[in-house]
Structure 1
Amino acid sequence: MNIRTIFLIPISLIIFGCSNVANEHSTNESQIIVTAEHHHNEESIGLNNGNKWKVDTNMMTHIRNMEMDINTLEVKNTKEYAELAIKFEHNIELLTSNCTMEGQAHDELHKWLLPYIDLSSEFSECKTLDKYAEIFQKIKSSFITFNTYFE
């Protein structure tokens, strides 16, 4: 199974598995269009009246697992980066299949999650140490953003 296919599965789960996908419409075509527009707009994340958004515990577990994997990576060579990409894939699958959030918190989380999934996909396709290191830094920055807006 190719890497792109592997990452399309979690994205599909996000699009169709979450209970509150961007103004559900009666046809699947409308759902796909609305969700794709939501994803590509990459709106900025906002706070919840000055407070961080609450992420459900079962979902937060998988997010924290990915963050811990990033923070504990010591040797940074292509083998370790490739193993990390597999861990990201696994946790993203678990995260998206356990999506239970609704409402504005759900929508705000998607503003962070969808670009993160894109970064993870790009990370898994890296071939050189320099490219791995570049995307790894972007992923680390993504978690700084996550921790700014979510708890």
Structure 2
Amino acid sequence: MKHLIFVLGLLTIVGCKDRKTSETTVHSDAVENALEVTDKRHSDDTSNIYGNAWTKDMAMDNGEQWQADVTTNEGVKQLQKTFYAKTTNSLEDYHKLAENLNEDKNYVVKNCTMVGPSHDNLHVWLHPLIEKIAALSKVETVEDASKLKLSIEENINAYSIYFK
């Protein structure tokens, strides 16, 4: 939990473009957090990896969607395209999906030019997705991978609720 709070604080303080070197740290922390949560999956099946509790932390722009920059919207469209194009029947398929989604997520992070409250809310949406993708890359059963895939789908599709 300390890692999660630290990462969220770091993401809020540092802009997307200015944290190319921080991305590796954020990804590593996300992997560690995701693995911790995945290890606890049997005792807490409603964890943030499988659920979407992050939606409670999202805010709207005076009841409207936040304006996202063009590259972020393009990156999220690519995430959706990658997600729906990949058939997942085996553990290897899920791991490959995670690899592909990670590349798309990296594009969003590296090319984001958003600032202010819209940027802050983007990170509320993005951080759980980073954790889920990291967990999917390390998952050990098809059952857990399937649950993570559903959670990732909900996360990716929720983007259009909060951003335009």
1:109 Cα deviation after fit: 0.5
1:73 Cα deviation after fit: 2.9
Code of the residue aligned with 2:16 in structure 1: it is C
SS at match of 2:146: helix
Work out which of the residue numbers 114, 123, 128 in structure 1 matches 2:136.
Answer: 123
1:83 Cα deviation after fit: 1.3
1:116 Cα deviation after fit: 0.9
1:51 Cα deviation after fit: 1.3
RMSD of equivalent CA atoms: 2.8
Query: Could you tell me which residue of structure 2 aligns to residue 84 of structure 1?
Result: 97
In the alignment, the residues of structure 1 paired with residue 137 and residue 109 of structure 2 have an alpha-carbon distance, to the nearest angstrom, of 18
Find out whether 1:106 has 2:104 as its counterpart.
no
- State the TM-score, normalized to the length of structure 2: 0.64
Unaligned residue ranges in structure 2 (runs of 5+): 1-7, 20-53
Find out whether 1:68 has 2:81 as its counterpart.
yes
The 1:85–1:50 alpha-carbon spacing in structure 2 relative to 1, beyond 3 Å, is same
Work out which of the residue numbers 64, 67, 71 in structure 2 matches 1:54.
Answer: 67
Do the aligned residues in 1 keep the contact of 2:65 with 2:161 (CA within 8 Å)?
yes
Unaligned residue ranges in structure 1 (runs of 5+): 1-10, 22-41
Q: Deviations over 1:77-124 (max 9, x none)?
A: 222211111111111222111121001110111110011111111111
Code of the residue aligned with 1:130 in structure 2: it is E
Find out whether 1:146 has 2:163 as its counterpart.
no
How many matched pairs? Answer: 122
- State the TM-score, normalized to the length of structure 1: 0.69
In the alignment, the residues of structure 2 paired with residue 17 and residue 127 of structure 1 have an alpha-carbon distance, to the nearest angstrom, of 34
1:20 Cα deviation after fit: 8.8
